[in-house]
């Protein structure tokens, strides 16, 4: 009797304590999970040579890595961003790429709102002052009323749309810049679409929600900061390199802008010696806007289900590179492609 086909899933890298949610989903479908902690192209090539699927977090799945994948049918990434995967190279190789775009929509929009409110009310400065032994309402002065201020959204996908709804409840006027946005959807939310220069000039808070691409890298740089109000703040819960970090540091140092709330950075992790960590007008969090116990389980199980769907001869629910039709060795000669 011929040996049953196996489907091997390599987790290229992960920061979780274990892989039990992924293991439960994959093993219930008869797939084999192989944990790894690769950090370079060469490590990935060695560890993933016989993989039928990859689950990826931060390891660089480059074109060189993809060309070495003789069996791979799908690469599924935790969360929304795809900047760790060379999607065109995967498409050329006939490998499906999938992500989980809806696993932490509430968490990220809540986190952006929390950064905005912290900056607006000076909570970080009051906290630091009390810890120094200072009890003084002027420790965070000057503060300005949030109602009537303008929130500018760089990007108008699902997360910034949720943020727009939440901050409208605090009385903010919301503008957005997104060349791909649907004007009718923006209008339904009371949001006016404007060009990026107008957005930077008009915003009291500029909140970044653009994906990291060749076009958006460094999008918010020295010219954008020069256009902003000196009382304005920047918030970034998207990807660090969308903002020119050196230009941001200079803008903060010189008072060109009033402050920043940052969850993402050009290079992660940052340490206590980072200029950003030494700025009193900056609120920092460690790339954790996506996280809650609920969102973590949802993202991890949906990432694994993308793989199971391909193994069973279907397209993944969250397929990114449409037009690719990977054939699984477990699906038989005529898989049903939905």
Copy the structure tokens of residue 195.
């060009």
In the structure encoding, which two tokens stand for residue 218, read together? 């460094």
Catalytic residue among 144, 268, 278, 280: 268
| Angle between helix 105-121 and helix 123-131 axes, rounded to 10 deg | 60
Secondary structure (3-state) at 230: coil
Among residues 91, 94, 89, the alpha carbon closest in space to that of 64 is found at: 89
Clarify whether 245 is annotated catalytic.
Answer: no
Residue ranges of alpha helices (H) inside the chain are 20-28, 41-47, 63-67, 87-92, 105-121, 123-131, 158-168, 183-188, 196-202, 222-227, 245-253, 293-311
Token pair recorded at residue 92: 């050329």
- Token pair listed for 294: 């609920």
Q: At residue 124, what are phi and psi to the nearest 5 degrees?
A: -65, -35
Is 287 a catalytic site residue? Answer: yes
Catalytic residue among 73, 209, 287, 300: 287
Catalytic residue among 111, 161, 239, 300: 239
User: Does 325 participate in catalysis according to the annotation?
Assistant: no
Distance CA 112, CA 235 (A): 7
Backbone angles phi, psi at 271, to 5 degrees: -120, 180
148 torsion bin: left (phi>0), alpha (psi -120 to 50), beta (else): left
- The residues annotated with a catalytic role in the active site are 239, 268, 287
């Amino acid at each position: 009797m011929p040996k049953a086909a196996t489907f091997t899933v390599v987790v290229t890298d992960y920061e979780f304590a274990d892989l039990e949610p992924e293991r439960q989903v994959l093993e219930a479908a008869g797939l084999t999970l192989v944990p790894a902690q690769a950090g370079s192209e060469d490590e990935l090539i060695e560890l993933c040579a016989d993989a039928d699927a990859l689950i990826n977090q931060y390891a660089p799945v480059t074109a060189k890595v993809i060309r070495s994948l003789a069996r791979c049918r799908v690469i599924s990434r935790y969360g929304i961003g795809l900047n760790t995967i060379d999607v065109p190279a995967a498409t050329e190789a006939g490998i499906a790429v999938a992500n989980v775009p809806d696993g932490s929509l509430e968490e990220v929009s809540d986190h952006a709102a929390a950064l905005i409110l912290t900056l607006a009310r000076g909570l970080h400065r009051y906290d630091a002052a009390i810890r120094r032994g200072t009890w003084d309402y002027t420790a965070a002065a000057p503060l300005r009323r949030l109602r009537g201020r303008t929130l500018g959204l760089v990007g108008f996908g699902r997360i910034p749309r949720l943020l727009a709804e939440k901050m409208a409840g605090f009385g903010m006027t919301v503008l957005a810049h997104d060349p791909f946005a649907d004007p009718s959807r923006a209008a339904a939310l009371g949001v006016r679409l404007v060009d990026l220069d107008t957005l930077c000039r008009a915003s009291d808070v500029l909140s970044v929600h653009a994906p990291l691409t060749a076009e958006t890298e460094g999008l918010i740089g020295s010219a954008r900061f020069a256009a902003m109000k000196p009382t304005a703040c920047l918030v970034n819960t998207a990807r660090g390199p969308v903002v020119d970090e050196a230009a941001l540091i200079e803008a903060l140092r010189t008072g060109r802008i009033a402050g920043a709330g940052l969850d993402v950075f050009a290079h992660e992790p940052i340490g206590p010696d980072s200029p950003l960590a030494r700025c009193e007008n900056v609120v920092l969090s460690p790339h954790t806007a996506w996280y809650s116990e609920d969102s973590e389980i949802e993202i991890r199980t949906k990432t694994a289900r993308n793989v199971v769907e391909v193994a069973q001869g279907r397209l993944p629910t969250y397929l990114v590179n449409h037009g690719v039709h990977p054939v699984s060795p477990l699906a038989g000669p005529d898989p049903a492609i939905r």
